[in-house]
C-alpha cells in the first residue's frame, strides 16, 4: 500500500461488533504502532476518519 492508493476491505464480525483489517504497510506509513499507540475514530462527511493520538490521555480502568 502506498500513499494515495485505495484498498477495498470487507467488515469482519468480532463478537457483537465489526472490524476492518488494516494492512501493516498502512500503519507503517502513518507511523502507528498497534501494540502501543491509540487512535481517535470519528465520522466526518460520511467517512470514517482514523487519527493517531499524539498525547493520549490515560483513562482509569473501571473494574
pLDDT in tens, 19-51: 999 999 999 998 999 999 999 999 999 999 999
Residue with cell 498525547: 55
> Residue 36 is part of a domain; what is its CATH number?
2.10.260.10
Q: Which of 19, 18, 39 is nearest to 30 (CA)?
A: 39
Structural domain boundaries, residue 31: 1-63
Residue with cell 492508493: 5
C-alpha cell at 35: 501494540
Number of domains the chain contains? 1
Beta strands in 7-62 (DSSP E): 12-14, 17-19, 39-44, 47-52
Strands 17-19 and 12-14: antiparallel
Report which listed range, 1-10, 27-36, 53-62, is most confident.
27-36
Amino acid at each position: 500500500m502506498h500513499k494515495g492508493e485505495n484498498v477495498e476491505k470487507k467488515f469482519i464480525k468480532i463478537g457483537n461488533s465489526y472490524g476492518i483489517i488494516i494492512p501493516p504497510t498502512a500503519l507503517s506509513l502513518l507511523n502507528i504502532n498497534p501494540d502501543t499507540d491509540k487512535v481517535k475514530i470519528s465520522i466526518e462527511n460520511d467517512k470514517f476518519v482514523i487519527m493517531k493520538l499524539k498525547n493520549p490521555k490515560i483513562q482509569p480502568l473501571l473494574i
